[in-house]
Amino acid sequence: MSSPVIQIKSPEELAALRTKAHAALDGDSVRIVVCGGTGCSSNGSKDVFAALQAAVAERNIPVRVDLLDEEGMQNLSMAFSGCSGFCEVGPIVRILPENYFYVRVKAEDAAEIIDKTILANETIERLMYKDRHTGQPYARRNEIPFYANQVNVVLTECGLIDPGDIREYIGHDGYKALADSLYNRPPEAVVEEITKSGLRGRGGAGFSTGLKWSLTAKVPGEKKYVVCNADEGDPGAFMDRSVLEGNPHAVLEGMILAGYAIGADEGYVYCRAEYPLAVQRMRIAIKQAEEANLLGDNILGTAFSFHIKIKEGAGAFVCGEETALIASIEGMRGMPRPKPPFPAQSGLWGKPTCVNNVETLANVTQILLKGADWFRQYGIPKSTGTKVFALTGDVVNTGLIEVQMGTTLKDVVFTVGGGIRGDKEFKTVQIGGPSGGCLTKDHLDLPLDYDSLRSVGAMVGSGGLVVMDEETCMVEVARFFMNFTQQESCGKCVLCREGTKRMLEILEKIVAGNGTVDDIGDLEEVAEAVRDGSLCGLGKTAPNPVLSTLKYYRNEYLAHVVDHVCPAGQCANFKTYSIIAEKCKGCRLCARKCPVGAIEGEVKQPHVIDAAKCIKCGACLDACRMQAVVVE
């Protein structure tokens, strides 16, 4: 929703607006929040929102139309928020102040929600989240194990506020850190506070943010830049997307603060093209902040000016790497260049540039609002604060989670994530995407933080956590990631360009059942060479999935090449599908499901699978109700 143009000329005016907006948000009024994140939207949350609005109108319930509408102060209010994190059970409807939490809501449920929950304060059990094993229903959001075990620093306002109304952000202490810093803290003190907080970059490498800022601040130069890295190319990760969509102003405020701290007057947000909603929300937020005098020339009446532009990526993973990203903003092919010089010394158009990730910048705002000591109470001494992870794959509760740094893998997968789907066994977690590594059952007690993960050959990376069950073949996992990096290698340096190709060839050979023991040795050798000799982070980390699967699952590689079996039963070439004639009733269910038409037979007669056509996708196995399809 949009808000009227507001103008703020001083910290006092900001404080006055904050008090008003806070009172409005916190008043006695009931607030219905419908999740408008990408996940819930794709499941029809817009229709749910419209149906709720219609139901409210039909009953003539007074609604507060505008946040600061004095007359409507005690009335019901409605908001369409950003991502609430629990995408699996969307569309989500949250009702405040009770914090009731309804899941899988349909437009048809709207009338009942209004009549029972809003008008009679009765909860509706059918719409509550229920424990998968015990069936226990949870009425309130914070009682649900998925949320109860999270700690929110960055995601607090996502799924709570309307990202399209700057006043709601201001009502949640938004831009207070900026006003305080501009008026009461010299730039060096801002850098000092960030350094003290121990914040490390959330974009992958985990470099100290305070140190990066002080380096950039010290480089002499009139013109400097701040770049917000919102490229998020790691497949299986959507943290940055959700933050941009759910609370864009928090990222803007972090960027402006970074600009103030390092002495920059211009910033760029580099957002991947696959995130149109994030770009749209960011554009609106920039416009509102400019109108409100919180961005642009002479911010809040001070001498400090800062401008922000958005650049959309065009689909290249390597552009997440900071030097490639800079080349891309300049309008060139997004190829990395050797470091040093680091962007802090010579970045965008040769000027000192500070590149920070979305989540890093959102943390900055919170640290400068609440203090470094407050931040340090979360996490562990060397990895302070929280980390947002995208929990996906074969886990019960998929979604966006935020936990303290140093939370164990077990707590993430089993307590927050609710364990493995379909009651299968946990096998592995792939963390950090194509640059990361895998964690096994033996690592369940491992704390998730920068240094512990590095010590076992994995990394926090951007925060993608893909859980895989016992039916996962680790050689295939390595092949999958190598296929990705090989395609995304920009081709500038030989080791990465050729090395990823060779590794992919070997992995394909093993997965196809033609590998030999020598191939494993070759694979290891190439992997080490690529790791040690590539130009940028993409090549240096590309062998990680290979090296870590070789380290922890060497047996599986050997089984493929020596015994010619795929222990997980995944690799198609080791499988044949057939139909047991005695069990087949000729119902044609499998034939209809087969995507390649490989199953033939007359109705009510036993069917057969044409091995030459079969692509071994397993659709027939899932379709058959007679257990007539078998795999060997």
Interface residues toward another protein, by CB under 8 A: 38-39, 41-43, 87-88, 232-238, 241, 273-276, 311-317, 328-334, 390-394, 398-400, 430, 433, 464, 466, 468, 472, 480-481, 484, 488, 490, 593, 595-597, 615, 617-619
In the complex, minimum distance from the CB of residue 318 to ligand FMN, in angstroms, rounded to a whole number: 5
Handedness of CA 620, 621, 627, 628 (dihedral sign): positive
In the complex, minimum distance from the CB of residue 286 to ligand FMN, in angstroms, rounded to a whole number: 19
Instruction: Indicate the burial class of 586 (C-beta count within 10 angstroms; 0-12, 13-18, 19 or more).
Output: middle
In the complex, minimum distance from the CB of residue 205 to ligand FMN, in angstroms, rounded to a whole number: 5
Beta strands in 8-165 (DSSP E): 31-35, 77-81, 93-96, 100-102, 129-130, 137-138
CB nearer ligand FMN, residue 237 or residue 285: 237
Which of 83, 478, 511, 536 is in the footprint of ligand FMN by CB under 6 A? 536
Q: Which residues pair with 609 in a beta bridge?
A: 599
Q: How far apart are CA 172 and CA 372, in angstroms?
A: 19
CB 491 within 8 A of CB 540: no
Residue whose structure tokens are 């009510």: 604
CB nearer another protein, residue 391 or residue 559: 391
Beta carbons within 8 Å of 126's beta carbon, 6+ residues apart: none
In the complex, minimum distance from the CB of residue 466 to another protein, in angstroms, rounded to a whole number: 5
462 interacts with ligand FMN by CB under 6 A: yes
Beta carbons within 8 Å of 303's beta carbon, 6+ residues apart: none
List the single partner that 157 binds among ligand FMN, another protein, ligand FES, none, CB under 5 to 8 Å by kind. none
Count CB atoms within 10 A of the CB of residue 595: 9
Q: How far apart are CA 85 and CA 62, in angstroms?
A: 30
# binding residues, ligand FMN (CB under 6 A): 22
464 interacts with ligand FMN by CB under 6 A: no
Beta carbons within 8 Å of 508's beta carbon, 6+ residues apart: 479
Count CB atoms within 10 A of the CB of residue 604: 10
Count CB atoms within 10 A of the CB of residue 149: 16
Q: Which residues pair with 94 in a beta bridge?
A: 33, 101
In the complex, minimum distance from the CB of residue 436 to ligand FES, in angstroms, rounded to a whole number: 14
DSSP state of 205: S
In the complex, minimum distance from the CB of residue 493 to ligand FMN, in angstroms, rounded to a whole number: 13
List the single partner that 360 binds among another protein, ligand FMN, ligand FES, none, CB under 5 to 8 Å by kind. ligand FMN
In the complex, minimum distance from the CB of residue 232 to another protein, in angstroms, rounded to a whole number: 7
List the single partner that 355 binds among ligand FMN, another protein, ligand FES, none, CB under 5 to 8 Å by kind. ligand FMN
538 interacts with ligand FMN by CB under 6 A: yes
- The two three-digit tokens of residue 475, written as one number: 């050689």
Cis peptide before 97 (omega within 30 of 0): yes
DSSP assignment of 470-530: TT--HHHHHHHHHHHHHHH--S-SHHHHHHHHHHHHHHHHHHTT---HHHHHHHHHHHHHH
CB nearer ligand FMN, residue 418 or residue 537: 537
Least Cα distance to 567 among 549, 548, 544 occurs for 549
List the single partner that 203 binds among ligand FMN, ligand FES, another protein, none, CB under 5 to 8 Å by kind. ligand FMN
CB nearer ligand FMN, residue 229 or residue 486: 229
Q: How far apart are CA 233 and CA 317, in angstroms?
A: 5
DSSP state of 115: I
Binding mask 210-249 for ligand FES (x = CB under 6 A): -------------------------xx-------------
543 interacts with ligand FMN by CB under 6 A: no
- The two three-digit tokens of residue 382, written as one number: 């060397």
CB 157 within 8 A of CB 21: no
Q: How far apart are CA 403 and CA 389, in angstroms?
A: 8
Binding mask 157-196 for ligand FMN (x = CB under 6 A): ----------------------------------------
In the complex, minimum distance from the CB of residue 237 to ligand FES, in angstroms, rounded to a whole number: 7
CB nearer another protein, residue 199 or residue 459: 459
Residues in the chain: 632
CB nearer ligand FES, residue 236 or residue 437: 236
Judged by CB under 6 A, the stretch of 81-89, 152-160, 316-324, 407-415 that binds ligand FMN is 316-324
137 interacts with ligand FES by CB under 6 A: no
# binding residues, ligand FES (CB under 6 A): 2
CB nearer ligand FMN, residue 529 or residue 587: 529
Cis peptide before 91 (omega within 30 of 0): yes
List the single partner that 398 binds among ligand FMN, another protein, ligand FES, none, CB under 5 to 8 Å by kind. another protein
Q: Site residues for ligand FMN, window 230-259 (CB under 6 A)? A: 231-233
Beta carbons within 8 Å of 537's beta carbon, 6+ residues apart: 204, 205, 321, 336, 435
CB nearer ligand FMN, residue 91 or residue 203: 203
In the complex, minimum distance from the CB of residue 385 to ligand FMN, in angstroms, rounded to a whole number: 12
Binding mask 189-208 for ligand FMN (x = CB under 6 A): ------------xxxxx-x-
Judged by CB under 6 A, the stretch of 74-82, 242-250, 534-542, 606-614 that binds ligand FMN is 534-542
Judged by CB under 6 A, the stretch of 53-61, 228-236, 476-484, 608-616 that binds ligand FMN is 228-236
Q: Which residues of 111-135 are buried (b: 16+ CB within 10 A; e: fewer)?
A: bebbeebbeeeebbeebbbeeeeee
Contacts to ligand FES by CB under 6 A? 235-236
Contacts to ligand FMN by CB under 6 A? 201-205, 207, 229, 231-233, 318, 320-322, 355-357, 360, 462, 536-538
